[in-house]
Structure 1
Amino acid sequence: MTLDFSTPSVPDTAISVAGLTEYIQLILEENEILHHIWVIGEVSSANNHRVGLFFTLQDPGGTASIKCVTWKSQVPKLMQMPNQGEQVIILGSIRLYPSRGEYQLQVWQVLPAGEGLQALRYKQLKNSLEVEGLFDDERKRGIPLHPQHIAVVTSPTAAAWGDIQRTLRGRYPGLHVLFSPAVVQGEEAPNSIVKAIQRVEKDGRAEVLILSRGGGAVEELACFNDERVVRAVANCRIPVITGIGHQRDESLADLAADVCVHTPTAAAERVIPALTDLYNQHLNRIDGLFDAVRFLLGDAEDRLQGLRNRLQRVGLNKQMSQEQQKLAWKRQRLLQATSGRLQQSRQHVEMLRQKLTSLDPKAVLLRGYAVVRKENGEIARSHSQVSVGEELSVLLGDGSVKVKVMERKEADG
């Protein structure tokens, strides 16, 4: 028997360990489901390390387990620390470590099993709607002071509806209450509540809307944390007041409403004042008005008496005499001022008259001067402007003469 120890041929499809690990890593980490996955299990061991928290999550039946890690920066954000022996729900991503050829769950959040997931969903939706601005105070509207039409959205069989009716009748008889029935518990509740609100808006008569339900377990009130209901409340065209359950954490519908109270009865009390209270307020205003009038009347009487006393101290005749003296003094000052101004004006006019007289051409001619004009009317100012034999017109102080140039002679220099 011959044994062949020669090297076998390597197939072309063979890959390296690194290549195989990289391929597996690509499959695991690029998978959309494994990239963001919820896992429920029991913590079998936990080790708090300086770089993070390492623990093992085991199937309740003990048939499978997976290693988990939460890095140090993420640990303060966990809603619950994974303690050994506790059942938890984990949100994480699958990661593969090539150097060890192992995969583990990188953990982003840890919740207690059961109600924890619901709490996280509540928080995530709340944060999302808060960023969108649905809970901003700027969106809140005031409740009308004296609404005549009030709409109520609740179950027709709920005790809340009866409480609201009794409260409204007792506080304000004759009020118009528009009832829009809705399912307020279970899977059908969100859609039913939204349609009930839409019916009220379409009707158009209501000035304010009460969204109400009595107390109950957390899961029974889940419909008021539904995004559809929250948006319907936030976008309602009329003010909304919520009265949902008893003492508890606020629902998202409460946060979106214009006003939030904790019971259906409180909602009815908040939405309309009691007639007895209004009557008492009216009486208080009447008393206040009477007090104000009495005060003003007393003040006016005091001032009138003060004027009477002043008149008695200062006689009317004496006051008239003083006023006449003041008028006479002012009249004298006015006459003096007017006379002075008139004298100044006369002097100024006389000065202007003298100036005009001195500038009058006739006055110049009367002093012996004459104006010589040529035949064309042009004034002759120089002997060179006239010719021998030319006839000229000479204007004198008391008339004019015509002359004929016999000779031109230049003035002695």
Structure 2
Amino acid sequence: MMQAVEFPIPEGSITVAGLTDYVQSLLEDNPQLRPVWVVGEVSSCKSHGSGLFFTLRDRQDGSLLHGVIWKSQVAKLATPPKLGELVVVGGNIRLFRGRGQYQLYGFQVLPLGAGMQALQYQQLRERLTAEGLFDPRRKRSLPEHPQTIAVVTSPQAAAWGDIQSTLRQRYPGLQVLLSPTGVQGDRAAASIERALARVAADGRAELVILARGGGSAEDLAVFNDERVVRAVALCPYPVITGIGHQRDESLADLAADVAAETPTAAAKRAVPELERLIQAHRDRQQRLEEVMMTYFGGVRSHLHQLRQRLDIAPIQRQLNREQQQLQNLKQRLIHASQQRLQQAQQRHQFLQERLTTINPQIVLDRGYAVVRNPRGEIIRSAEELRPGRVLSVKLAQGWVKVKITSTGSEGPAPFSQS
């Protein structure tokens, strides 16, 4: 058995707490830091029940300083910190012992003008506006009943799950294509640009959703990148942006055909709700029946008046004229009724065919099957599977469990001869 070797503690060693106390005394007892006025660009700012938590960024080297302004001081500020604004913050430097991190505890904020981020944003916005990329006349209308939609987002993001769930509930049978991309970081702009190019090259989509959830100004800065804005503006299909944020709209929002507040809202704008379409059809059918009943009632009343006039008109010529008018009205009534009924039948047949085409049971009845893994997920590619795995196969009538013996990428596997 090995024995632990004890090494002597070097002379002059200090504990973590001791070092923290020493650094804390250097920071908090330094007269040059009590108070201190710090110039920086506000790169993030979040309101909390206890106060405002913010980050200042140096415009020269990008270094960051975290700070807090407690709730009791917020009302005394000359101006609250705003994202992208260059400010000078007065406060005291203190050490947060739990993390060994120093912070600026602010008591006053003074504006110094627009920060670099805000200035670059405004300059780019003005230049792209002059080029016409944000012109409302460039906006395209969305297809009323799209069959295929492409989604450009991160496959790991919650936004992707929200969009799939919303589209599945509102419009069953819709084909949804994912063009994966990064949505944060230095490489995200190029990644989004490539993802939109893939959608254009694929050619199946009728509509594109560009989405990500909320985040800080740094997280969402990619949607102000010129490459992303141009890719959105030049996309051959209508684009809906669903970028969750509570700030000024991004340049990508301005270039898009429709800008929604969140990924879920973007999915709702993309497709109508099937149940509402069905109900609208039923309402139109009911109104048509009511109009026809009213029309027939008016015709019957008019016929009754004509009969009364015929009863009191002994002259044969008057009788013939009234009979001719009655015949004309009858023909017009029959023709109008046939037209209205034909339109209603065509509309009913269209919706019936539409419901039939999106019924998954019909696909199963044609001999196809739905294969799911043990977690209930639908299997779309053999590359996801390995021999020995047990799968559930849903048929038109019932289901079976199968075990994989082999996989391949092209054509069905041949059956072995026993």
TM (normalized to structure 1)? 0.50
Partner of 1:208: 207
Structure 1 match to 2:293: 294
Residue deviations 1:211-266 (CA, integer Å, cap 9, x gap): 00000001100110000110111111110000001333210000000001110000
Q: Which amino acid aligns with 2:225?
A: D
2:249 match: 250
The alpha-carbon distance between structure 1 residues 186 and 268, as it changes in their structure 2 partners (threshold 3 A), is: same
* Counterpart position of 2:302: 303
Give the Å deviation of 1:284: 1.1
Report if aligned partners of 1:42, 1:85 keep a CA contact under 8 Å in 2: no
TM-fit CA distance, 1:319? 3.7
Structure 1 distance, partners of 2:159, 2:196, is 17
Q: How far apart in 1 are the matches of 2:320 and 2:123?
A: 92
Distance in 1 separating the partners of 2:87 and 2:218: 25
Structure 1 counterpart of 2:281, which letter? H
Give the letter aligned to residue 187 of structure 1. D
Task: Note the C-alpha offset of 1:290.
Answer: 1.0
SS of 2:119 mapped into structure 1: helix
Aligned residues: 224
Other-structure match for 1:122: 121
- Does the aligned pair in 2 maintain the 1:111–1:117 contact within 8 Å? no
Counterparts in 2 of 1:158 and 1:82: CA distance versus 1, 3 Å: closer
Alignment of 1:64-103 (within 5 A): none
C-alpha distance in structure 1 between counterparts of 2:120 and 2:236, whole Å: 28
Task: Look up the match of 1:155.
Answer: 154
Match of 2:167 in 1: 168
The alpha-carbon distance between structure 1 residues 156 and 123, as it changes in their structure 2 partners (threshold 3 A), is same
Q: By how many angstroms is 1:194 displaced?
A: 0.7
Q: Percent identity?
A: 55
Amino acid at match of 1:178: L
| Contact 2:88/2:112 (<8 A) preserved | no
Q: Are positions 1:183 and 2:182 aligned together?
A: yes
RMSD over aligned CA atoms reads 3.0
The higher radius of gyration belongs to: 1
Q: How does 1:193-232 map to 2 (within 5 A)?
A: 193-232=192-231
List aligned pairs for 1:11-410, cutoff 5 A.
112=112, 116-317=115-316, 319=318
- Deviation (angstroms), 1:42: 6.1
Paired amino acid for 2:132: G
CA contact (8 A) 2:243 2:260 kept: yes
Distance 1:240 1:80, change over 3 A: closer
Q: Which amino acid aligns with 2:116?
A: L
Distance verdict in 2 for CA 1:185–1:112, change over 3 Å: farther
Q: Provide the rounded CA distance (Å) in 2 between the counterparts of 1:233 and 1:309.
A: 72
SS at match of 2:155: coil
Provide the secondary structure at the position in 2 that maps to 1:177: strand
Output the CA distance in 1 between the equivalents of 2:181 and 2:89.
Answer: 46
SS of 1:168 mapped into structure 2: helix
Q: Which 5+ residue runs of structure 1 have no aligned equivalent? A: 1-40, 44-59, 61-78, 87-109, 323-413
**Aligned partners of 1:223 and 1:229 also within 8 Å:** yes
Distance (whole Å) between structure 1 residues aligned to residue 309 and residue 316 of structure 2: 14
Q: Which runs of 4+ in 1 moved over 6 A?
A: 79-86
- Identify if the C-alpha distance between structure 1 residues 111 and 225 changes in structure 2 by more than 3 Å, giving closer, same or farther: farther
Deviations 1:269-314 (A, max 9, x none): 1101111111111111111111111121112212222221221221
2:235 maps to a residue whose letter is C
CA contact (8 A) 1:242 1:260 kept: yes
Can you list the C-alpha shifts for 1:348-393, whole angstroms capped at 9, x where unaligned?
xxxxxxxxxxxxxxxxxxxxxxxxxxxxxxxxxxxxxxxxxxxxxx
Q: Which amino acid aligns with 2:289?
A: F
